[in-house]
Amino acid sequence: MSLIEITDVRKSYGTNEVLKGINLNVEPGEVVAVIGKSGSGKSTLLRCVNGLETISKGSISVAGAQLMNDEVHLKALRLKVGMIFQQFNLFPHLTVGGNVMLSQMVVKKTPKPNAEAMARKMLERVGLSEKFDAYPDQLSGGQQQRVAIARALAMQPIALLCDEITSALDPELVAEVLAVVRELAAEGMTLVMVTHEMKFARDVCSRVVFMHEGRVHEIGPPGEVFANPKTPELKQFLGMH
Amino acid sequence: MIEFTIWDILRNLLLATRWTIVLSLVSFVGGGMIGLVLLFLRLSRRKWARALAKYYIELFQGTPLLMQLFIAFFGLGLFGIDVPAWLAAGLALILWTAAFLGEIWRGCVEAIAKGQWEASASLGMGRLQQMRHVILPQAMRIAVPPTVGFSVQVIKGTALTSIIGFVELSKAGTVVTNATFQPFTVYGLVALIYFALCWPLSKSSQILERKLNVAHRNH
């Protein structure tokens, strides 16, 4: 059984169908890059996986937890997949430590000392242990995004969804975030990432999914997809003519 | 004819000012509590709850406070319920305040970026947990200046209750004028007392706005 099973997922906004029947299975430990033009549905697909968008048809399950539209099922699903956003979305009224501790204490009812220990461990992992008491607005974008990763990791998910996590960063800050993601991948974390970092996708990912007009247009190992695109749309997207 | 000194006038007005202050506080606290209920109804996922709060707010914002006072005072009387002026005044002002505070606070909650809801949801928080730990702490900072600012409207709103016979500052002004025949002096003092109550609130609202904006400088 695959870890993430996306079966015939359709999603419409009114009459505009943005996902037109997506099938995708992700195995444990896989690192999948989702690429495509803006408007191709890649972010929507990712947001559907942890229930930020409701799907119109089809089914999604993560490690046996089925996506359903009630709070109990959603919570069970979201405990298995973490999500990291383009805009970081740290809680500005809490310190870095508070950000990483909050959901552990509120959702998992972890006692405070344990939550703090976990927070320190995860911040250490993303190289920010000295920022425990800082507020998000005192950090650079790259540091904020690393805190967001630590916050997601502290919930001990079995997969992480990354939605263009470097797109809002200044170019010189992209590397530090990608280094953390690369390390996670090396440790065997299952990752599904929407990204524009083609070089990173080529180096780190086990599979690349090219989406076009709401469908999975091409899929395969990065070597094949990047070196040998089969469809004219992917060729155009990669700038090969 | 009896002569009244300024002190006589002022003393009587100040005694009545107590009731203006009490009525304002009652309206503000009571209205705040109902306003909070309205806020949660307004943000509820249930359609009937949202509709209920919406119509309540539209009704109370869409009619003059004076009419609400009249209806509370005379309307209930039609059903044989004897409503004292203080009760009608308190009730109408509480309901009126609630409508405005509920709407002000809804605006503050909606000013919080959608990403905050999404991030907390993706961490597994339920709706109430999101509200309590993520949304409200941020919305409250935004809400302080307009809420303090609105309290000035509540204080001035209490003046209308003089029309149904509740003796607060304005009504006392009328009574004292009728006894002294010095309308300019009396109403001048009344206005000064209102100013002394409202101005510090307006000013602190401005100061708070500036202060809380500084705290938000990097967002």
Helices and strands (H, E) in chain B, number of each type: 10, 0
Among candidate residues A236, A136, A131, the one with its CA nearest the CA of residue B219: A136
Q: What is the DSSP letter of B71?
A: I
Q: Write out chain A residues lying below 8 Å of B113, CB-based.
A: 87, 89
Buried b or exposed e, range B56-73, using 16+ CB within 10 angstroms: bbeebeeeebeebbbebb
pLDDT at residue B216, as a whole number: 54
Contact B122 A83 (CB under 8 A): yes
Measured over the CA atoms of residue B178, residue B183, residue B185 and residue B186, the dihedral's sign is positive
What residue in A sits closest to B141 (Cα-Cα)?
A93
Backbone φ and ψ for A81, nearest 5 degrees, come out as: -120, 125
Q: Write out chain B residues lying below 8 Å of A54, CB-based.
A: none
pLDDT digits (tens, 9 = 90+) for B134-173: 999 999 889 988 999 999 999 999 999 999 989 999 999 9
CA distance B130 to chain A (A): 9
Contact A52 B120 (CB under 8 A): no
Helices of type H across A37-170 = 42-49, 71-78, 96-107, 112-125, 141-153
Q: Write out chain A residues lying below 8 Å of B134, CB-based.
A: 91, 102
One-letter amino acid of A175: A
Of B122, B129, B219, the CB nearest to A50: B122
pLDDT at residue B1, as a whole number: 62
Distance CA A106, CA A30 (A): 30
pLDDT digits (tens, 9 = 90+) for B36-89: 999 999 998 899 999 999 999 999 999 999 999 999 999 888 888 888 999 999
- C-alpha distances in Å from residue A176, one per residue of A22, A129, A172, A204: 32, 15, 8, 15
Residue B162 CB partners (closer than 8 Å, separation 6+): B168, B170, B171, B174
Contact B123 A82 (CB under 8 A): yes
Statement: B6-217 belongs to CATH 1.10.3720.10: yes
Backbone φ and ψ for B25, nearest 5 degrees, come out as: -65, -45
| Residues paired with residue A4 on neighbouring β-strands, in sequence order | A26, A62
CA distance B82 to chain A (A): 48
Q: Are A159 and A192 in contact (CB under 8 A)?
A: yes
Q: Give the residue extent of every domain in chain B.
A: 6-217
pLDDT at residue B19, as a whole number: 94
Helix (H, G, I), strand (E, B) or coil at A15: coil
Q: Indicate if the pLDDT at residue B217 is higher than 80.
A: no
Helix (H) / strand (E) element for A186: namely: helix A171-186
Distance CA A120, CA A132 (A): 7
Q: Are A184 and A160 in contact (CB under 8 A)?
A: yes
pLDDT at residue B141, as a whole number: 87
pLDDT at residue B219, as a whole number: 46
pLDDT digits (tens, 9 = 90+) for B15-44: 999 999 999 999 999 999 999 999 999 998
In A44-73, the residues whose Cβ lies within 8 Å of chain B are 50-52, 71
**Percent of chain B's residues with pLDDT above 70:** 96
Q: Write out chain B residues lying below 8 Å of A44, CB-based.
A: none
pLDDT digits (tens, 9 = 90+) for B87-124: 999 999 999 999 999 999 999 999 999 999 999 999 99
Interface list for chain B against chain A, based on CB atoms closer than 8 Å: 113, 115-116, 118-127, 129, 133-134, 137-138, 141, 217-219
Q: Indicate if the pLDDT at residue B204 is higher than 60.
A: yes
Mean pLDDT score across all residues of chain B: 91
In A113-172, the residues whose Cβ lies within 8 Å of chain B are 137, 148, 151-152, 155
Pair of tokens at residue A85: 């956003």
Measured over the CA atoms of residue B196, residue B198, residue B200 and residue B203, the dihedral's sign is negative
A87: contact with B, CB 8 A cutoff: yes
**From edge to edge, which strands make up the β-sheet containing A207-212?**
A81-84, A159-163, A190-194, A31-36, A207-212, A215-220
What is the DSSP pairing of strand A31-36 with strand A207-212?
A: parallel
pLDDT at residue A88, as a whole number: 94
Contact B122 A106 (CB under 8 A): no
Contact A85 B113 (CB under 8 A): no
Return the ∠ at Cα B43 (arms to B25 and A149), rounded to 5°: 110
pLDDT in tens, chain A (241 residues): 789 999 999 999 989 999 999 999 999 999 999 999 988 999 999 999 999 999 999 999 998 888 888 888 899 999 999 999 999 999 999 999 999 999 999 999 999 999 999 999 999 999 999 999 999 999 999 999 999 999 999 999 999 999 999 999 998 899 999 999 999 999 999 999 999 989 999 989 999 999 999 999 999 999 999 999 999 999 999 987 6
